[in-house]
């Protein structure tokens, strides 16, 4: 039951009904006995700045941001941290003292999910090949380079987009970031799909995994369905496979901690709770 002291957060999106974030944060709120709530916030494109400012003044603690608002959220922040600067987008807003403070936890969530689902994996292991060059690829590439990955290769149908991303992320003292017309699978330690291919309602990602080393890891950030054709092909080859649900769960932790003053845990019970709401392909 909510009280006059309840903390309120939510998720901005359009549409937002598909988001599993309310289910995720609702589980944590109940687990930790917190006087608070987390609600879906459907906001039409172009209206995010005025709505976010109004909720800041209304006493909301903050919000997550999903499609199509991540770049608009960046523009409406009073302050953004380095994760948001490098990603060029915001997925977590904290409302504090009348200010809107933005960050991007997608890269952090990706690394945490990799460590959880592929024990022993490290960003320093070797070349990472990213399929796609959108917002998720940007956040993941930035996190990998910062964590010591020696080489990130971007493969995208629109080469110009990948080339721009590479220029934006290149920093002295970090690993190389390159663009390739085809995935250099024989040299790849980690292959990551950041495109919608393989998602429910989308065509599968068609790629021959046979050139990958036997030690390679394959990750698909798609989580509807949990077992995409790419992950099924990886497992059939005997490779370690990492699904997209872990990234969703872990990216939510920093925001929850900022809004509700508890750093939540990701465990089997949480995964089962959220996965129960994910339809099969």
Q: Is residue 1 part of a domain?
A: no
Residue recorded with tokens 């024990």: 119
DSSP 237: T
DSSP 186: G
Residues 13 and 94 in one domain: yes
Residues 73 and 113 in one domain: no
We report the CATH number of the domain holding residue 264 as 3.40.50.10860
DSSP 90: -
Query: Is 223 assigned a ligand-binding role in the annotation?
Result: yes
How much is the pTM?
0.94
Active site residue 146: no
Q: State the pairing for strand pair 240-242/217-220.
A: parallel
Residues 127 and 45 in one domain: no
Cα distance between residue 74 and residue 107, in whole Å: 16
Q: Is residue 281 part of a domain?
A: no
Residues 114 and 43 in one domain: no
Task: Please say whether the beta carbons of 221 and 136 come within 8 A.
Answer: yes
Query: Is 133 assigned a ligand-binding role in the annotation?
Result: yes
3-state secondary structure of 84: helix
Residues 165 and 228 in one domain: yes
Residues 205 and 231 in one domain: yes
Residues 135 and 218 in one domain: yes
Query: Is 96 assigned a ligand-binding role in the annotation?
Result: no
Task: Please say whether the beta carbons of 236 and 209 come within 8 A.
Answer: no
CA dihedral 117, 139, 25, 92 (to 10 degrees): 160
Q: Is residue 2 part of a domain?
A: no
Number of domains in the chain: 2
We report the CATH number of the domain holding residue 133 as 3.40.50.720
Q: Is residue 280 part of a domain?
A: no
Residues 112 and 232 in one domain: yes
User: What pLDDT, on a 0 to 100 scale, did the predictor assign at position 156?
Assistant: 96
Q: Is residue 232 part of a domain?
A: yes
Query: Is 140 assigned a ligand-binding role in the annotation?
Result: no
Q: Is residue 271 part of a domain?
A: yes
Query: Is 136 assigned a ligand-binding role in the annotation?
Result: yes
Query: Is 269 assigned a ligand-binding role in the annotation?
Result: no
Task: Please say whether the beta carbons of 127 and 145 come within 8 A.
Answer: no
Q: Is residue 79 part of a domain?
A: yes
Q: State the pairing for strand pair 99-103/127-131.
A: unpaired
Residues 216 and 124 in one domain: yes
- Residue-level pLDDT, tens digit, the chain, 281 residues: 667 789 999 999 999 988 899 999 999 999 999 999 999 999 999 999 999 999 999 999 999 999 889 989 999 999 999 999 998 889 999 999 999 999 999 999 999 999 999 999 999 999 999 999 988 999 999 999 999 999 999 999 999 999 999 999 999 999 999 999 999 999 999 999 999 998 888 898 999 999 999 999 999 999 989 999 999 999 999 999 999 999 999 999 999 999 999 999 999 999 999 999 988 76
Q: Select which of 7, 70, 146, 164 is catalytic.
A: 70
Residues 175 and 129 in one domain: yes
Q: Burial level of 226, CB count in 10 A (0-12/13-18/19+)?
A: middle
User: What pLDDT, on a 0 to 100 scale, did the predictor assign at position 215?
Assistant: 97
Cα distance between residue 256 and residue 114, in whole Å: 20
User: What pLDDT, on a 0 to 100 scale, did the predictor assign at position 208?
Assistant: 97
User: What pLDDT, on a 0 to 100 scale, did the predictor assign at position 198?
Assistant: 87
User: What pLDDT, on a 0 to 100 scale, did the predictor assign at position 4?
Assistant: 74
CA 65 to the chain's CA centroid: 11
Residues 75 and 129 in one domain: no
CA dihedral 170, 241, 266, 99 (to 10 degrees): 30
DSSP 60: -
Q: Is residue 68 part of a domain?
A: yes
Tokens of 260: 């509700």
Domain span at residue 271 reads 7-103+251-275
Residues 123 and 54 in one domain: no
């Amino acid at each position: 039951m909510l009280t006059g002291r309840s903390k309120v957060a939510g998720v901005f999106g359009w549409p937002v009904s598909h988001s599993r974030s309310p289910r995720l944060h609702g589980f944590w709120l109940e687990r930790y006995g917190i006087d608070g709530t987390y609600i879906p916030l459907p906001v039409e494109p172009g209206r995010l700045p005025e709505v976010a400012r109004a909720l800041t003044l209304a006493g909301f603690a903050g919000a997550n941001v999903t499609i199509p608002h991540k770049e608009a959220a960046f523009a409406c922040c009073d302050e953004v941290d380095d994760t948001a600067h490098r990603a060029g987008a915001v997925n977590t807003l904290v409302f504090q003292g009348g200010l809107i403070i933005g960050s991007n936890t997608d890269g952090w969530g990706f690394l945490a999910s990799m460590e959880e689902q592929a024990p022993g994996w490290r960003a320093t292991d070797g070349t990472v090949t990213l399929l796609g060059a959108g917002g998720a690829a940007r956040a993941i590439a930035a996190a990998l380079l910062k964590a010591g990955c020696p080489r990130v290769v971007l493969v995208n149908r629109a080469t110009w987009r990948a080339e721009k991303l590479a220029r934006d992320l290149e920093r002295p003292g970090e690993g190389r970031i390159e663009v390739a017309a085809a995935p250099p699978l024989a040299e790849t330690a980690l292959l990551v799909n950041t495109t919608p291919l393989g998602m429910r309602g989308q065509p599968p990602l068609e790629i021959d995994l046979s050139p990958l080393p036997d030690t390679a890891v394959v990750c698909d950030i798609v989580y509807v369905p949990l077992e995409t054709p790419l992950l099924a092909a990886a497992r059939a080859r005997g490779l370690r496979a990492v699904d997209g649900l872990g990234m969703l769960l872990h990216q939510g932790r920093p925001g929850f901690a900022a809004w509700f003053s508890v750093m939540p845990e990701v465990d089997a019970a949480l995964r089962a709770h959220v996965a129960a709401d994910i339809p099969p392909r």
